[in-house]
Chains A and B, each alone.
Chain A
Amino acid sequence: MASPGVELVRRMAAGDREALTAFYDLYAPLAFGLLRRMLRDVDDAAEVLQEVFWELWRAAGEYDPRRGSPEAWVTVRARSRGIDRVRSVRRREEMFVAPTRETTAAAPAATGNPSSVVEDREMARGVLRELPAEQREVIELAYLQGMTQSEISARLGLPLGTVKTRMRLGMERLRARAGSRT
């Protein structure tokens, strides 16, 4: 079997709490590392992590190994809940915090240097590091900060087409690297 997680998810679907414990120990660092790069506040990240695994426990019966590995299942859910939190923190801070302050999850100020903030939270270890900086930048702004293609275009002062192209090239390269590593 490709991943020990598949069997654990099957047992989780049958209500096996020990399987969840083992599953958590195996995959929580994966989700938490990602959440930490999305949310600067460690308590926010910890809270979202618990919510993610609670949802995975409840949704275990819906998991289909043909549609992705447990790693991808965990990562997709963590990223989705993480972005929800990023946006809610951003809304909260836009309402209550002076707009000039760099916020926990808000995108960098339009006048600032975007790459400096990206570097601060980058995932540029391992496989992402091998991407050209301009491709990595657009991927991280979308994936970690929940920005849309046109928001990234406005933020970086790039034509929308350039953002789309960099995103595609970066993702294709990432996929090729991932494929060669397995």
Chain B
Amino acid sequence: MSAAHEPLDELVAGHVLGALEGEDASRFAAHLAAGCTECERAIVEYQEALAGAAADVREAPPARVRHALLERIGESPARRSRVGQALGWAASVALAAGIGAVVSASWVRARYEVRLEQMASEAAGLQAELAEQVRTVSDLRQRLGEQERTLTLVKAQAAEQERTLALLGDPETRLVMLGGLTPHPQAQARIIWNAHAGGLLVAADLPPLPEGKIYELWAIAGGKPLPAGLFGVDAQGKGRLAVAPLPGGASVDVFAVTLEPAGGVQSPTGAMYLASKKA
């Protein structure tokens, strides 16, 4: 480069590397716009030099890029210029009236076939998306149902706890212990009992229920057993039962639990598993 041109040399290098900014960038753009063959030649040579440097680090791309590119190109409509070139300018003028319509009709048809294929593929995509959304809605409904069931359970537990707290706060409430009897001596239970408000039975270490059987609580008053509710046990032998007060708030002498047919009975028939001492 000439000596007069020298201050621009640094700008050429910066320009080719895309590193110019601000005043340098605008000064060099103006210089190029004014037409400088020397700088244009330098740009080309620098670009060739960078291409040469890139050639030293060639790397095979993944095969999928080639497939995707060719597929994309294959789907794009054929170029208009291809038709024009095949015919040649003179021929295209001479034959335009005759075959122009045919050529353009087939070109249009090809174009629309591509578009139709594209629309079919888009429709299939939308259908899949819709099916996915239907699945999502159904899933959400199911989860909502589960949450509603959980909420009902939580409400019932909260009501039971509220009732228990009310019971515990009443000075007439007492705690009745039930001991295990011969069939399963390690069984035990407690009843928080209030003659006017009823109570809550909590049993533990009872054996699992045989098929078709259930535990039944009895409130024995004046020597007569009255059915006071049915309960099952979990895998650890634990069971709970909310117990209603006897009619008129009558006092209970003994609480007992027997094993009875599922559905319960009106007077005890099965073996007695738990009993309290007479009050």
Binding site for B on A (CB under 8 A): 13-17, 20-21, 24-25, 28-34, 36-37, 42, 45-46, 49-50, 53-54, 57, 61, 67-69, 71-72, 74-76, 78-80, 83, 123, 125-128, 139, 142-143, 146-150, 152, 164-165, 167-168, 170-172, 174-175, 177-179, 181
- List 5 A-B pairs, Cβ < 8 Å: A30-B54, A33-B54, A68-B44, A142-B17, A171-B17
User: Which residues on the A side are within 8 Å of B172 (C-beta)?
Assistant: none
B52-95 at interface with A (beta carbon < 8 Å): 52-62, 64-66, 68-70, 72-74, 78-79, 81-82, 85
Instruction: Give which listed residue, A28, A31, A125, A165, contacts B10 with CB less than 8 A.
Output: A165
Decide: A69 and B51 in contact? CB cutoff 8 A: yes
Determine which of B13, B19, B49, B62 lies in contact with A178 in the assembled complex, contact meaning CB atoms within 8 Å.
Answer: B49
Of the four ranges (under 10, 10 to 19, 20 to 34, 35 or more), the interface on chain B belongs to 35 or more
Would you call A174 and B51 a contact (CB within 8 A)? no
Enumerate chain B residues within 8 angstroms of A178, measured Cβ to Cβ.
Answer: 45, 48-49, 52-53
Nearest opposing residue in chain A for B25, CB measure: A148
User: In whole Å, how far is B181's beta carbon from the nearest beta carbon of chain A?
Assistant: 67
- Pick from A13, A147, A165, A181: contact of B52, CB below 8 A: A181
CB of B35 to closest CB in A, whole Å:
14
**Could you tell me the dominant secondary structure of chain A's interface residues?**
helix
Contact of A69 among B20, B48, B60 (CB under 8 A): B48
Report yes or no: B79 in contact with A147, Cβ–Cβ below 8 A: no
Q: Is the CB of B81 within 8 A of A15?
A: yes
Is the Cβ of A67 less than 8 Å from the Cβ of B44?
yes
* In contact, A20 and B73 (Cβ under 8 angstroms): yes
A30 and B19 CA atoms in complex are apart in Å by 22
Binding site for A on B (CB under 8 A): 9-10, 12-14, 16-22, 24, 44-62, 64-66, 68-70, 72-74, 78-79, 81-82, 85
